[in-house]
Structure formats: structure tokens, C-alpha cells
Structure 1
Amino acid sequence: MWTNTQFTGTLSPGATQRWFTFNWPTSWHVVWYMVPTSAAPGAPQVDWDIAVERASADRATYWITVKNLTQNTVTFEGRYAVLN
């Protein structure tokens, strides 16, 4: 298993935005998670959904939609873990 940060983002209060990352091997089991880096600790600050699109037999694109659940601007890191 290995982990890394794929992207960083900033969302205005209540905003939703979509990111994508492409050319990932379809044989990998990838887990995505968003980690707030600017907001105060406490209640959940972001929510996210992942959609996977096969680009070819052996490559995939991940579409990552992130929503700011707070009334403050939030910055975050889009991180992943490859489990196989």
C-alpha cells in the first residue's frame, strides 16, 4: 500500500466543485479521501463522491466531487491510497 496527495483545492462556503485525475491503472484498488487543511477541527467540513470512468481496457479516470459543508472557506488535500 502507498499513499500520496494528488491535488489541493479551495471551496467557498457551501460550494461544490468537481476535479478529475486520469490515466490510472484499472488493476489498482484506489481509495480517495479529502483532508481539510485550513478549517477548525470539529464537525465534518467536506463531503465527496467518486465516479470512475474507464478510459480503456487498462486505464481509468476518477471524477471527484467535493462539497464544503461549512459557512467558511475550506482548503483541502485530495489524497489517495493504493491498496494492492
Structure 2
Amino acid sequence: MNSDLLDILCCPISHAPLTPLTQQDIEALNERIAAGTLRYHDGSAVETPLTEGLITADRQYAYRIDDGIPNMLPGQAIELKDKA
């Protein structure tokens, strides 16, 4: 991802800065996707494995990057923490 674009992007929900997902992060998230335990912010299940993405500095949300385009829609934020 272009570093200039990354510098201006932030989470539309928490306004936290974003960094690229590591390969280790992607593998761990894909395991959770396969297990059916990840949800988007809109409540729907995450069904498609990640190949690339961004994560908030507080590790609360991840955003997929598909075909080089980050999906920054709030409803499509992948929630990484269980809701209390």
C-alpha cells in the first residue's frame, strides 16, 4: 500500500491510526474466519479470507484490502475484540 495514503488513513470508527497487517496477523485472522468467529461491525459474518489488510493501533478493528483498495466503510470493519 502507498505509504502516503497510509499516512492519511485512520479508522472511521475510533479514529485510531492504521498499520498494515503482518503475515502472522493475516494467518491468525484467517483461522478465525474459517472458524466462523469474526464479525463485521454491521454484525454480518466475515466469510472471505484476507490476503491483505490494515489494523488499528489499538488492535480493535481490521480493514480488508481487496485488489489494492482498502475498504474503509465503518460497517465493514472487522471487529477483533469481543463486545462486552
TM-score (norm 1): 0.22
More helix by share: 2
- Which structure is larger by alpha-carbon Rg, 1 or 2? 1
Q: Highest relative contact order (Cα 8 Å, sep 6+), 1 or 2?
A: 1
